[in-house]
Amino acid sequence: MSYQHPPQVRRVLESLVPVVCPPEAMELGLGADIVDHVALTMSVVPPLFRRGLVLGLTTYDVSAVLWWPGRGRRAHRLPLALAERWFARWEHGPTPIESELAKAVGQLLKFGCYEQPAMLERLGYRPQQWIDQVKRRRLTVYGDDVRRAEAAILAPDPLRPRSQKKERA
């Protein structure tokens, strides 16, 4: 993985997990794993988008100092109730910059949260079992048809009469 969160960004993201993700995520102790997953996703997004997110999260963190209810604290140091209010201010921010940043960060955290095996297990979501089952059934029931279709992929069927076929060197 070529991207790793700067320490400041990591602290902000960890403070946002209880704000954005459902309480079960914290109960299961998944905060750090979710933030690690955000880094994985950020490693493949366009570089400009990634730089924008890092800059935006830093601004989100530092600008909380000027927010009177926060009493001079950065966003990652706010208690949960205030952290929720600060995030909500950005969600409904006066310009699209604030609201789009809150939306993008929220999406990254929610995606990371529901990629955690423990969260998927709580939902009873086990798609690989289903895939293995139907894959086996397909080959058992329709094996002959499958092989015929494979053979047809390679069967000659010229688009134009072969007289037009160019002689290869």
CB of 127 to another protein, least distance (A): 4
Q: 16 burial class (0-12, 13-18, 19+ CB within 10 angstroms)?
A: buried
Report the alpha-carbon distance of residue 112 to residue 5 in Å, rounded.
15
Q: Are 104 and 53 in contact (CB under 8 A)?
A: yes
d(CA 8, CA 12): 6
Is the Cβ of residue 1 or residue 66 nearer to another protein in the bound state? Answer: 1
- Taking the complex as a whole, the smallest distance from the CB of residue 59 to another protein amounts, in Å, to 19
- Give the burial class of 21: count Cβ atoms within 10 A of its Cβ; 0-12 exposed, 13-18 middle, 19 or more buried: buried
Q: Which residues bind another protein (CB under 8 A)?
A: 1-3, 18-24, 37, 40-41, 43-47, 49, 84, 96, 99-100, 106-108, 110-115, 119-120, 122-125, 127-128, 130-131, 134-143, 145-147, 149-150, 153-154, 156-160, 164-168
Please, which residue, 68 or 92, has the CB nearer to another protein? 92
We find the least distance from the C-beta atom of residue 35 to another protein, in angstroms, to be 14
Q: Which one, 9 or 21, has the nearer CB to another protein?
A: 21
Residue with tokens 């988008």: 49
**Smallest distance, another protein to C-beta of residue 72, A:** 26
CB of 159 to another protein, least distance (A): 5
- Smaller CB separation from another protein, 8 or 115: 115
Neighbours of 33 (CB within 10 A): 19
Cβ proximity to another protein: between 44 and 55 the closer is: 44
Distance CA 161, CA 166 (A): 11
